[in-house]
Amino acid sequence: MTALVIAEHNGGEIAEATLSTVTAAAQLGGDVHVLVAGGDDAGAAAGAAAQIAGVAKVLRAVDAAYAHQLPENVAPLIVSLADSYDAILAPATTTGKNVMPRVAALLDVMQVSDIIAIESPTTFKRPIYAGNAIATVESSDSKRVITVRTTAFEKAEATGGSASVDEVSGPTGDGNSEFVKLDAVESDRPELTGAGIIVSGGRALKDGETFEQYITPLADKLGAAIGASRAAVDAGYVPNDYQVGQTGKIVAPEVYIAIGISGAIQHLAGMKDSKTIVAINKDPDAPIFQVADIGLVADLFNAVPELTEKL
Amino acid sequence: MKILVPVKRVIDYNVKPRVKADGSGVDLANVKMSMNPFCEIAVEEAIRLKEAGKAEEIIAVSIGPAKAQETLRTALAMGADRAILVETDQDVEPLAVAKILKAIAEEEDPGIVMLGKQAIDDDSNQTGQMLAALMGRPQGTFASKVQIDGDSVSVTREVDGGLETVKLDLPAVITTDLRLNEPRYASLPNIMKAKKKPLDTKTPDDYGVDVSPRLAMSNVSEPPVRQAGEMVEDVDALVAKLKALGVA
């Protein structure tokens, strides 16, 4: 039983999502190997992967074709390595979700998406219906291709390991796709999926300016990441990578502060595993209060500035 | 160019699903069903490409029970030209769906297969990627913008850190994200007209695809219920609570 984790990285650093995936892979009970595929700059990331506690071996595949994790190029590489592995795992990030089903289909196996628990090496728990039900599924395939909900597994220690780094090479795809550009959202704030505290705003904020005016100072005060409901994103108050929910990001911070968010099913699916949920809403019947640990029925335009000042 | 648009009949997104007491699944008896919201966006995008003169024909496909016809009629009423229903009473997993779609794509030879990024029932987010793999074609997943330019297509994708643009050779598989467009409503005259549009009925056997599941679902349970919370009177009480939590 050996598991291969597909690392998510930016060349130099390994994404935290990978650390959670290593923990999940270790729970399968065998050796954990990590594949770092990338362009010329992937060396540093491979070095960082070798430091992760619990990793037995790092495979480094360097080729310009792997530089932007294009699934058309990376999937054939993973498939070429698959013979040696019983399970192949990646975090359920947009990168993992993009590549892994392609790998699964090429191997003719069903992927198990977004697992939240491992019952046995072939049996997993995963949420369905926007987290309104938890399914236990057993795979009868020869290999398991798995994406991991990172908020459901502790992060492995980023240091303390001393894995060997092996060079590997493999096919690089048919060249029928091309990376053009990445418009990254610049932010000094903690990353949403890794933040300890999240302040999130909804439609009640009225517009982008008001969102900024009320939510940002509170988030600054708490050193928190800023999130938003789908309504706030669709209305254009904030960019769409702020969205928390079934169709956005899944978060599980220590404290989630929902401001002017009613608590639709699709939003709750993205944040109801937060340790403590705080809700501020003027509607006492808002569904958010059914999941909130601490609720305050108040007009956010009075309560939020007061809160920011008193903290 | 033809566009193939697979659509799925799912529980309506406004309905709160109820887990059956025996743990065998979610209770779908007498529950309102609709077209998966991401599939609606895919249908809309296909229609817009046709309206822009980039596509000649839109074929909607659904794989599922006889009632999935209603979902196909909805797609036809929105503007699809014809429909194919692959009828089966079994729950079909993404891998088998992808295999059936591949067989249909071989017959129809579409320039683009436009799917939703995920179905809101199984939340798998796999079918489009699997189809692209089986067809050996490039994929543009989580698309928020699609621009056809000769024999290639530029797809702007919603990724975790922002927006990524990729250029794909056609034919290609594209999966839609929420902000790609705002799907139109089918007007009453169009709903009437849709009843006359062609709808072929097939079975998985017609395409030689085995739909038996690879994943056995042994149990479906309610998620853990959160402890009932506490309401506070005012901001001062909230501040005290937050401080007790170690926040600020």
Shortest Cα–Cα distance, B208 to chain A (Å): 15
Of B130, B163, B216, the CB nearest to A137: B216
* C-alpha span between A228 and A241 (Å, rounded): 9
Check if B120 contacts A (Cβ < 8 Å): yes
Residue-level pLDDT at A106: 98
B26 contact residues in A (CB cutoff 8 A):
128-129, 132-133
Interface subset of A 239-268, CB within 8 angstroms of B? 239-241, 246-247, 249, 254-255, 265-266
Of A112, A131, A183, the CB nearest to B215: A112
* C-alpha span between A201 and A231 (Å, rounded): 9
Residue-level pLDDT at B19: 95
> Do residue B226 and residue A247 have CB atoms under 8 angstroms apart?
no
Residue A216 contacts by C-beta under 8 Å, 6 or more apart in sequence?
A: A226
> What percent of chain A is modeled with pLDDT above 70?
100
Of B17, B138, B158, the CB nearest to A133: B17
Of A99, A114, A291, the CB nearest to B123: A114
Check if A185 contacts B (Cβ < 8 Å): yes
Residue-level pLDDT at A40: 87
Interface subset of B 14-73, CB within 8 angstroms of A? 16-17, 19, 26
pLDDT digits (tens, 9 = 90+) for A27-69: 999 999 999 999 988 889 999 999 999 999 999 999 999 999 9
Which of A68, A72, A112 to mutate to test binding with chain B, by most B CBs within 10 Å of its CB?
A: A72
Alpha helices in chain A (DSSP H): 16-26, 42-51, 71-81, 94-106, 208-222, 230-234, 265-271, 300-310
Residue A81 contacts by C-beta under 8 Å, 6 or more apart in sequence?
A: A4, A35, A59, A168, A170
Tens-of-pLDDT digits for all 248 residues of chain B? 999 999 999 999 888 899 999 999 999 999 999 999 999 999 999 999 999 999 999 999 999 999 999 999 999 999 999 999 999 998 999 999 999 999 999 999 999 999 999 999 999 999 999 999 999 999 999 999 999 999 999 999 999 888 999 999 999 999 999 889 999 999 999 999 999 999 999 999 999 999 999 999 989 999 988 877 899 999 999 999 999 888 76
B242 contact residues in A (CB cutoff 8 A):
255, 278, 294, 311
Angle between helix B235-244 and A300-310 (nearest 10): 50
Of A113, A140, A266, the CB nearest to B125: A113
Helix/strand/coil for A176: coil
> Do residue A72 and residue B138 have CB atoms under 8 angstroms apart?
yes
pLDDT digits (tens, 9 = 90+) for A191-228: 888 899 999 999 999 999 999 999 999 999 999 999 99
Residue-level pLDDT at B248: 66
Residue-level pLDDT at A189: 85
Alpha helices in A88-161 (DSSP H): 94-106
Check if A182 contacts B (Cβ < 8 Å): yes
**Whole-structure pTM value:** 0.93
Ranges of chain A with pLDDT below 50: none
* C-alpha span between A50 and A22 (Å, rounded): 12
> Do residue A140 and residue B169 have CB atoms under 8 angstroms apart?
no
A303 contact residues in B (CB cutoff 8 A):
235, 238
> Do residue A136 and residue B220 have CB atoms under 8 angstroms apart?
yes
Helix/strand/coil for A68: coil
Across chain A, mean pLDDT equals 94
Interface subset of B 78-117, CB within 8 angstroms of A? 93-95, 98
B169 contact residues in A (CB cutoff 8 A):
176-177
CA nearest to B154 within chain A: A180
Read off the DSSP letter of residue A25.
H
Secondary structure string (H, E, C) spanning chain B: CEEEEECCEEECCCCCCCECCCCCCECCCCCCEEECHHHHHHHHHHHHHHHCCCCCEEEEEEEECCCHHHHHHHHHHHCCCEEEEEECCCCCCHHHHHHHHHHHHHHHCCCEEEEECCCCCCCCCCHHHHHHHHHCCCEEEEEEEEEEECCEEEEEEEECCEEEEEEEECCEEEEECHHHCCCCCCCHHHHHHHCCCCEEEECHHHHCCCCCCCEEEEEEECCCCCCCCEEECCHHHHHHHHHHCCCC
Q: Count residue pairs from A and B with Cβ separation < 8 A.
A: 250
Which of A94, A198, A256, A259 to mutate to test binding with chain B, by most B CBs within 10 Å of its CB?
A: A94
> Do residue B94 and residue A101 have CB atoms under 8 angstroms apart?
yes
CA nearest to B168 within chain A: A177
Residue B19 contacts by C-beta under 8 Å, 6 or more apart in sequence?
A: A132, A133, B25, B26, B27, B220, B221, B222
Exposure string of B97-125, with b = 16+ CB inside 10 Å and e = fewer, is bbbbbbbbbeeeebbbbbbbbbbbbbbbb
Interface subset of B 156-195, CB within 8 angstroms of A? 157-169, 177-179
Check if B126 contacts A (Cβ < 8 Å): yes
Residue A46 contacts by C-beta under 8 Å, 6 or more apart in sequence?
A: A36, A58, A60, A165
Of B126, B232, B242, the CB nearest to A113: B126
Query: Is A122 within 8 Å of A138 (Cβ atoms)?
Result: yes
Shortest Cα–Cα distance, B51 to chain A (Å): 25
